[in-house]
Every structure is written in C-alpha cells, then in structure tokens.
Amino acid sequence: MGRKPCCEKVGLKKGPWTAEEDKKLVTFILTNGQCCWRTLPKLAGLLRCGKSCRLRWTNYLRPDLKRGLLSEDEEQMVIDLHAQLGNRWSKIASHLPGRTDNEIKNHWNTHIKKKLRKMGIDPLTHKPLSTAEEQQEKKKQVSKEPEPKEEDKTMTRTLFDPMAMMNNDNIDGFSIDEVPLIEPYEILVPAAPSTSSSSSSSSSCSSSATNSSKFLEDLHYFPVDFEWPSDHTTTDTDSNNLRLWNIDDFSSWDLLINNDDDSDREPALHSLPSPLIQNPTMGVDYDSWTYELL
C-alpha cells in the first residue's frame, strides 16, 4: 500500500505554463494567500497539480523575485555558501533574497561549475583540481571504506572556503536559518493606515488578500482580449537582465492604466511603501513586477 500520488494525474496539464494560467494563479494567491497547494488548483480553476502551482509561484511568479543574472557578489556568495553547505540549494537561496533554489542550482550547473573548473578548482570539493583528482583516485582505491560523516564533509569543504577562513571565529555563530524571506504580503502593504498589524505570522490564508485588494480591483480593468505575449518566459541572454515580459509587450495595458481619465487606476502603486519603490535592494521593482505579472 503505497502513498497516494500528490494529485490526480489524470486530466492534469503538464509542461510550460500559459499566461492565462499564470494570471489565474497570481490572482488566486493575491486574493486568498498561499494556502493548501493541494486544493489550490481546483479553487483557482487550474488543471495543474498543487506541486506544479507551488513551483510556478515560488520559482517564477512570486513578486519578490529578482530577475536577471546573479551579480558577481551573489555568485561569490553562492560559491562560499556551497563550500559550506554543499548542494543545499534552498539553504543557499535563503541567503540571497529574491533568488530561488532552482535559479541558483541552474546557475551553479551552467555557469559557476565551469568557472571554477577553469580556475582549477573542483566545484565539488572546492579544492584545487589536482588535489581533488588525487582524492578521487584514492577514493576509488579505498572504496570499501565508509562514507565520511556529514560533519566531516562540511569540514572538508570549509577548509578551502575563503569566507570561512575570513570569518573563522564566526562559523559556529553563523546560522543559516536566521535570514528571513520576504513574503508577498510584506511587499504589498498599503500605505494607508492599516487596522491590523503587518507583523505576525506568514501562515495565514488571507494574509495578502486585503493588502492586494486594490491591486485586484485593478485586475478588472485588464483588457478582456489582451493578448499575452507567447514568449513571456523568454530570456534575454545577451544583456545582464533577464525579463519576464518586455515593457513593450504591455502597450495595451500600459495605455489603459495611463489613461489620463483613469490615472488613479494605476495598480496600487500609490499604496506601496515608498522604500519598496526606491530601494532596489529589496529585490522588488513594483513597476516591473506589475508589468511582469500582468
């Protein structure tokens, strides 16, 4: 008697998400918050399994995501963290606000691995390649010996970790679980005096509902026959910035929201806390997010 599959696979859609599905998912989550991924697809009218919805949201649709290639600093941080944590991508991602584990994993596999190899560093051990190769050889010869314990592995990685070397006396105090993630409801906080505190927990089903009500109102002004760009997931690898959708893709939407008569309908921008608009380090460019999502 095995466990039931996470969802009824029959009749469920797989593969790339369409703009329409994205819209449904975003609308639902902004209305109801993130709750119960299993039931979400049904409630949102999506023919997807909950898992797929969660991934789409966390890796692509979340408003607090940074897009674009990792900066040099971020890349170095990934390398340092990888030296300490190994392939614990979610832990690594928790140190890089706006970055997802999937994104970091992909970047590691496609860019950093090669880079390190070019530099003569083994991306697995973070040791000089020659040494690592020797070790591989030894490992083959002594393959009967048991695997080193997890702590030992970490120690080995740390040995060649510049960050750890610099902060040697801080290693023990360096908690990887202490960096908070920005939640959507934390971003879409209305500037208007709020009756309820914005602190509290992140587990509510309706946490973002009120915060985004204005935003959702604005959704109603979305052109019914608006044509979502089919290549909205296309990345511009020639520039440093990836994109979800080009600003030009939204000319009709842009026209709509910038209509002089309806200038106050611009999606909830006024209600966004100014630090979020002005502070790029928050990883949220509200303007672009609005356009990207819609």
**Would you report the helix, strand and coil content of the chain in percent, each value rounded to 5?**
50, 0, 50
Q: Is 201 in the site for DNA (CB under 7 A)?
A: no
What is the smallest separation between the CB atom of 100 and DNA, expressed in angstroms?
Answer: 8
What is the smallest separation between the CB atom of 107 and DNA, expressed in angstroms?
Answer: 6
Q: Is 204 in the site for DNA (CB under 7 A)?
A: no
Rounded CA-CA distance 134/139 in Å is: 9
Q: Is 56 in the site for DNA (CB under 7 A)?
A: yes
Rounded CA-CA distance 65/182 in Å is: 9
Please name the residue ranges forming H helices in 86-193: 89-93, 101-107, 113-118, 129-141, 150-159, 162-166, 184-187
Q: Is 288 in the site for DNA (CB under 7 A)?
A: no
Q: Is 262 in the site for DNA (CB under 7 A)?
A: no
CB atoms within 10 A of CB 178: 9
Q: Is 80 in the site for DNA (CB under 7 A)?
A: no
Q: Which of 38, 131, 160, 176 binds DNA (CB under 7 A)?
A: 38
Q: Is 10 in the site for DNA (CB under 7 A)?
A: no
What is the smallest separation between the CB atom of 55 and DNA, expressed in angstroms?
Answer: 5
Q: Which stretch binds DNA (CB under 7 A): 1-9, 122-130, 150-158, 163-171?
A: 1-9
Q: Which of 11, 14, 197, 264 binds DNA (CB under 7 A)?
A: 14
First to last CA, the chain: 44
Q: How many angstroms from the chain centroid is the CA of residue 221?
A: 28
Q: How many angstroms from the chain centroid is the CA of residue 210?
A: 23
The residues binding DNA (CB under 7 A) are 1, 3-4, 6, 13-17, 35-38, 48, 50-52, 54-56, 59-60, 69, 87-91, 101-103, 105-107, 109-111, 114, 231, 233-238, 242
